[in-house]
């Protein structure tokens, strides 16, 4: 593993630990005893590049870029198994979600993965109109992952709309300004 090669200087290391400790789910990051229970219990470990316990060690070592560009934070299924079993009460599930938001904000999210694109598009739509609009979400994801499939998806969308299964018209809630403030407070901000 390339862990040792990308260790940060001690100042950067401390900075990243402090940054993570301020994130939801990150306050106990230094309490981890590396017992590995989280990694051993994780149902999506097979699709991660670093196991949950490795990810924690990488945070402690200040490997900001490796952590934020990892597949691990996107492979997490937020099942809560690790958080429930952790003997030091680390809320790793919440931390994974916080790291996703930070990765998107810093433009470090795994560029090949569909999940970061989904996350970004989902929150952008909800932030702007206060509710999800499935056709917009589909178009944004397909455009970025498989543009050739757009025509096929459009046909299917029209069929579904005719049957009343989806609404093509995008609706907005009344108080989108209040919603924007909520996003600012929760640090979701502008995802564009």
Binding site for ligand SF4 (CB under 6 A): 32-38, 41-44, 52-53, 56, 76-82, 86-88, 90, 92-93, 96
Q: Tokens for 164?
A: 């009343």
Residue with smaller CB distance to ligand SF4, 90 or 121: 90
Residue with smaller CB distance to ligand SF4, 12 or 41: 41
Residue with smaller CB distance to ligand SF4, 86 or 142: 86
Residue with smaller CB distance to ligand SF4, 49 or 134: 49
- What CA–CA distances, in Å, run from 83 to 41, 62, 64, 80, 92? 10, 22, 22, 5, 6
**Structural Rg of the chain based on CA atoms:** 19
Q: For the residues of 21-32, what is the DSSP string, one character each?
A: HTSTT-TTGGG-
CB of 189 to ligand SF4, least distance (A): 24
Residue with smaller CB distance to ligand SF4, 78 or 176: 78
The answer to whether 83 touches 39, Cβ cutoff 8 Å, is: no
SS3 call for 41: helix
CB of 92 to ligand SF4, least distance (A): 5
Give CA 64 to chain center in angstroms: 15
| CA distance linking residue 137 with residue 142, whole number of Å | 9
CB of 105 to ligand SF4, least distance (A): 20
Q: Tokens for 94?
A: 């919440």
């Amino acid at each position: 593993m390339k862990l040792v090669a990308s260790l940060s200087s001690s100042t950067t290391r401390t900075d990243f630990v402090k940054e993570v400790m301020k994130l939801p789910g990150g306050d106990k990051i230094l309490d981890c005893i590396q017992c590995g229970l989280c990694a051993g219990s994780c149902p999506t470990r097979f699709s991660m590049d670093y196991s949950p316990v490795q990810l924690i060690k990488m945070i402690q070592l200040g490997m900001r870029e490796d952590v934020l560009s990892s597949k691990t934070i996107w492979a997490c299924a937020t099942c809560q198994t690790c958080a429930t079993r952790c003997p030091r009460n680390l809320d790793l599930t919440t931390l994974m979600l916080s790291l996703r938001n930070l990765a998107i904000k810093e433009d470090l999210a795994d560029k090949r993965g569909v999940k970061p694109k989904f996350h970004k598009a989902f929150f952008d739509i909800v932030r702007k109109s206060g509710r999800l609009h499935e056709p917009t979400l589909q178009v944004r994801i397909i455009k970025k992952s498989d543009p050739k499939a757009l025509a096929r998806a459009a046909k299917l969308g029209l069929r579904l709309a005719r049957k009343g299964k989806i609404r093509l018209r995008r609706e907005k809630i009344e108080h989108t300004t209040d919603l924007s403030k909520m996003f600012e407070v929760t640090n979701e901000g502008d995802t564009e």
